[in-house]
Amino acid sequence: MFFHLQLEREIELQPKHFGPRLAEILHKKLRTEIEGTCSGRYGFIIAVTDILNTGKGTIRDGTGSATFKVQYMCLVFRPFRGEVIDCVVSSVNKVGFFADAGPLQLFVSNHLIPDDFDFVSTDEPAFVSADEEVRVQAGAEVRMRIVGTRMDATEIFCVGTIKENYLGVINPAAAAVG
Amino acid sequence: MLEQELADSDSEDDAINALTPAPAEASDAWDARPGRKRLRTGAVAAESCPPHPGFMHGMCIRCGAVLEDDEATGLALRYIHSGLRLSTAEAERVRQRSMRRVMDSGKLLLVLDLDHTLLNSTRLTDVCDEAGTLLDALLEREARAGAPPSLHRLAHLNLWTKLRPGVRAFLEAVARHFELHIYTHGDADYARAMAALLDPGGRLFAERVISQADSQQQHVKDLGVVLGAEAAAVIVDDTAAVWPQHAANLLLVERYIFFPACAERFGSTQRALLDEGRDEDPARGMLAAALRVLLEVHAGVFAAREGDPARDARVALAAARRRVLAGVRLCFSAVIPRGAASPQAHALWRLAEELGAQVADAPDEATTHVVSARDRTDKVLWARQHARFAVSTLWLHSCGVLWCKPDEQDFPVAEQRPLQLAPVRSEAQDLAAAMAGAGGGRGWASKPL
Ligand SMILES: [Mg+2]
Ligand SMILES: [Zn+2]
C-alpha cells in the first residue's frame, strides 16, 4: 500500500555550499539520501514529493558544517499482511517462485500455489496448470495476497499466496517478453 | 488495533497517523520491527501450520508466522535463496515430488562435479611462462577456428579454465535423459562462471548450481541439498571421498588434468596434458564412456516397472558395472602375495568381481584371462599354451575406468620389470588434493587441510 507521509530528517551541508543555491543543494541532497531507501518503520521511500520546511541551520563546532532539520512529504510503499499486490515473477524453482513488486521481493511457496499446478523444468522452469493453459514463469505478471511480512531495519521481505480465487497470473503475455 | 500497536511503539511522529487503517489482518504485521518478533499464526492461509514446512528469513513460507529467534533448524538451501530453510519433512516431500516429476517426464537426476570432471582450472599465477606461451597460442588458434573455444582466460577470477574435450556434446546428450545439477566445492562465483562456460544459454542447469557454501558439512557433498531422491540420482565426480553417503550413486571418473599445477597437486606420475602437448580424445575419453554408462543406467531404470526394485538408479548402475566383464573368468599372477590370508580382499580382486568377472585362484578349463604383473610366470605360460588372454594389470584398471573391455592385444604383460604404479596415497591425501584443486585453487578450499 502507498502512503503520503510527512517525515523529518537532518541533513548536513559543508560550508562550501553556503550561498545563493543553498536551498537547492539541500533539497537535492535530501532526495539522494532518502529516495530508494527502506526503513523498517515506514517501508520503502519511493519519492520526495514536497519540502515543507528546512528550518535554520545549526553550525557544528569544529567542522564548520551546518545541519538542517528538513521536513518533507514523501511517497512510501509498505506491504501489509492480507494486501493483494501485483508482481512480476523473477525466478521459479521446485520449492516455489520469487516475484518483485518494485523494490519489494516476495516468495510464494508451492504450498500456496493451487494444487493443480505442477512444477516443470524442461526448458524454462515454471509452475504449469493441469490444462497447460497457465504458466507461472519468469516475466509473468502475477496477482498475489501477502501472507506474511518480515521487516528489518533496512529490508522487507514478504511471502504470498496465489491459492485463492482471483489470484494468479494476470498477464501471461509478459512471460514471452521476460 | 492499529492505534494500540502505534501507542506502544513509543512513536514520536504524527506522520504515522497519516497511514489510513489497513485491513484487519494487516495490522499485526506492524510489529515486525527489530527486537519485537512474536510468533503468530496466520489468518490468511492457515492450511495446517504448525508444523511449518519451511522458513524464508525466519518467516513461515505457508502461514507467514515469524519465528521467535532465527532458529537454524532444517535444511538450508542457500543456492535457491540465502534465507531459505526447509523442515526435514518438507525437504523429504519436495524430494519425493521432484522424483515423481522427473521420472514422469522420463528423466533421472544427474549431479555433476566441475573440477577434474567436466573441466580443469588453474590460477593465472600458477602457470609458468613457458606454459603461458603455449596457452596463449592455443587461445589464438581456437579463436581463429571459430568453434566454441575449450580454453578460457578469466581475468576477473584470475583463472585459466580448460573444458574437457567433448563436454558440451556430453551435456547436450545427457540433458535429454537427465535433469542436470552442478555440485562443486568451488565458491558460488566460480560455480556460476563455469556454468556459463558450459551452458551459455543457461538452459541446462537453471538454478541448479550448488557450490561450497551450500553443503551442510565441509568436504562432504550431500544429495539432501540437491533435493533429489537417491533412487533417481546419478553422480559423476572424480573424487569418491566427498560422497561418503552415496557411493552407490557414484560414477567415478578418471581425473581430467590439463594444467601442470594440478598434476603436481595430485602427485600423480601421469603428466599434465598440457605438458604432454596432447588432449583427451572426445570420442574415446572418459566422458564418452560416462555417457554410454549413463544412457545404459537410464534405459535400465525405465525398463523396470513401477514398484520393481530395479527401478532404481543405484541398482542400474551396479548392473551396468557387472556387465563390463560378464562372462570373463580370470585368475591373477604375480599380483597377490603368495599365501595372503584373504586374496579376495585385494583391490584388484574386488574390482574384477565388481565388474562381473569370476575370479579363481588357479587357471582351469573355464578361465578366459590371466592378469599378471610379470611376464613368464607359470600362469602366463599356461595361458599362452591354452590360447587364453594374458594381460597386464593395467587392462583390468582400464576396464574399471572406462566401463568396457578394451582390446586385450593393447595390454600385453610387461616384459621385464613390474608395471610402475603411482605412489600409493591415502584417501585423505587424495581428498585434500581434490579440495585444494576445487575452484582452480581459489579461496578457502586451496588452503592446506
Ligand atoms: Mg572434482
Ligand atoms: Zn507456518
* A115 neighbourhood in chain B, CB within 8 Å: none
pLDDT score recorded for residue A141: 95
pLDDT at B376: 86
Parse chain A into domains and list their residue ranges.
2-77, 84-175
Q: Does the CB of B1 have a partner CB in chain A at under 8 Å?
A: no
* pLDDT value of residue A174: 52
Strand-pair partners of A84: A145
**pLDDT value of residue B7:** 38
**Which residues in chain A have Cβ-Cβ distances shorter than 8 Å to B108?**
none
Which residues in chain B touch residue A137, judged by CB atoms under 8 angstroms apart?
none
- CA–CA min distance A59, chain B (Å): 25
**What local confidence, expressed as pLDDT, does residue B193 receive?**
94
Question: Nine-digit cell at B10?
Answer: 513509543
State pTM to two decimals.
0.77
CB B81 within 8 A of CB B57: no
Give the mutation candidate from A150, A151, A154 for the B interface (greatest B CB count, under 10 A): A150
Whole-number Å distance between alpha carbons of A44 and A33:
13
| pLDDT exceeds cutoff 80 at A118 | yes
Higher model confidence: residue A73 or residue B82? A73
Question: Chain B closest CA to A174's CA: distance in Å?
Answer: 20
Between chains, do A159 and B53 touch, taking CB under 8 Å as contact?
no
Judge if ipTM > 0.90.
no
B390 and B335 Cβ atoms separated by less than 8 Å: no
**CB within 8 Å: A95 and B84:** yes
| Average pLDDT, rounded, for chain A | 90
And the C-alpha cell for B416?
Answer: 621385464
State residue B446's pLDDT score.
36
For B446, the 3-state DSSP assignment is helix
Dihedral sign of CA atoms A122, A128, A134, A139 in order: negative
Q: Which ligand is nearest to the CA of B44?
A: 2
Cα distance between residue A11 and residue A26, in whole Å: 7
Q: State which residues of chain B have pLDDT below 70.
A: 1-47, 68-72, 216, 268-269, 415-427, 441-449
Closest CA–CA distance from residue A20 to any residue of chain B (Å) = 31
* pLDDT value for A109: 94
Fold agreement (A2-77, A84-175): no
Residue B63 burial (CB < 10 Å; 0-12/13-18/19+)? buried
Nearest CB among B24, B32, B206 relative to A149 is that of B32
Class of domain A84-175 (CATH, top level):
mainly beta
Q: What's residue B269's pLDDT?
A: 65
Best residue in A2, A53, A94, A137 to probe B by mutation, most B CBs within 10 Å? A94
Measured between CB atoms, does B207 come within 8 Å of chain A?
Answer: yes
* The pLDDT value given to residue B295: 96
Q: Find where cell 604383460 sits.
A: B413
- Backbone dihedral region for residue A34 (phi beyond 0: left; psi -120 to 50: alpha; all else: beta): alpha
Packing angle of the helix pair B393-402, B347-354 (nearest 10 deg): 50
Q: Is the pLDDT of residue A176 over 80?
A: no
Closest-CA residue of B relative to A91 is B207
CATH code of domain A2-77 = 3.30.1490.120
Q: Which chain A residues contact residue B29 at CB under 8 A?
A: 79-81, 148-149, 151
Record: contact A3-B18, CB cut-off 8 A: yes
